[in-house]
Each structure stands twice: as C-alpha cells, then as structure tokens.
Amino acid sequence: MRQVIGLALVLGLIFPGWLRAAQLPPAPSSLQIATMPAALRFDLRRPSSLQLEVQVRDPQGRPVRRAIVVFLLPGSGASAYFLNSGRMETVMTDDNGVARVTLTRAANAGNWAVTVQVQYNGLRGEVTVPAQNVAGIVPAVKWGAIGGVAAGGAVAAVILLKHSGPGPTMPNLTTITAGAATIR
C-alpha cells in the first residue's frame, strides 16, 4: 500500500495534472435526457400514485450522476402532488443517472403536464411530460398514440442538450441549445 501511495505521489510531482485528471471525468458537452413513462394517466375512481423517472446520460451513453432535476406540477386544476404534498420536487440523479419521484393524483379531471428541468455543469434543458386525470377508462383513440406509448413502457421525451458547436448526431433526438425551448 505504501508503494502505491509513493508511486502516486511521485507521478503527481512529475505530472502535476495526473492526479486531478485521474479523479475527475471530463465534463460532457451534451446530455441525453429520457423520461419514463412517456405520459401519465390517473384513474380518478381509485386512489393512485405513479412513479416518474428521468434518466440523464452523456454523449457516450454513460450515466450522469449528481445532475439536478426539478419536477414542477400545475398549482391548480387537474394535476397531482408529490409525497411531500408539494407541487415542486428537486432530486439529484443517482450513480445510474436516474432521478425518481412519486406523484399522487389530485381530485380534478382533465389534461395537465409535468415540467422537468435538468441542470448539469452549465447545461440546462426542459421537457414536458403530458398527463391526464380521468374518471374511468379512456378510449385509446381519445388518448391517442401518447397513451399507447406510455402503456407500452417506452421511453418518451428524449432531448439532447449541448453547448455551441457540432455535436454527435443521434437518431430520434431533438437538439436544443442550453436553456432554450421546451419539447411538448
């Protein structure tokens, strides 16, 4: 053990940036953000809670840990609330790049959306997850393709956040500049 520490100290003296470079991965120039499920649907006839998950990855597909994810719910009308009875929840991504929240439906029927904001190392982006509180089963035609995708458990909103300059091209990703548009 002393030999390993001694070698690290010698290498640190010869190559001053070596220890720092070995400890910190390079900051990503862009992020891939996916929500699961694609959309939320609560049945007002039953008490129900659903989990919403956001996964953050770098351009190489590696999980980004400690990204700040803010979940925002409408303050009135059809909506839901978090376990703390609030309408806003802030979560950091775990070692797998995942942030999770549990939502409990409110009593009002209607369409609404969860706004998800992600911040990491100067990159900022926002995605909107559609949601609906319904009194019973809604025909698939009315809910449309979004409900079918959510029911199938597919990954919904996927966006790519990047700094200025060329980035990787990836199919099925929408590119936005840091801090710019909302994808609906």
pLDDT of 157 > 60? The answer is no
pLDDT of 161 > 60? The answer is no
Mean pLDDT of 158-180: 37
pLDDT of 128 > 60? The answer is yes
Q: Which of 19-28, 147-156, 172-181 has the lowest mean pLDDT?
A: 172-181
Confidence of residue 177 (pLDDT cuts 50, 70, 90): very low
Measure CA of the first residue to CA of the last residue in the chain; give whole Å.
55
Enumerate the domain spans of the chain. 26-183
User: How many other CB atoms are found less than 10 A from the CB of residue 141?
Assistant: 7
Confidence of residue 38 (pLDDT cuts 50, 70, 90): confident
| Tens of pLDDT, residues 50-62 | 999 999 999 989 9
Max mean pLDDT among 5-9, 18-22, 93-97 falls in 93-97
Whole-number Å distance between alpha carbons of 129 and 114 = 5
User: What pLDDT sits at residue 48?
Assistant: 85
CATH number for domain 26-183, candidates 1.10.10.200, 2.60.120.620, 3.40.50.720, 2.60.40.10: 2.60.40.10
Whole-number Å distance between alpha carbons of 145 and 174 = 19
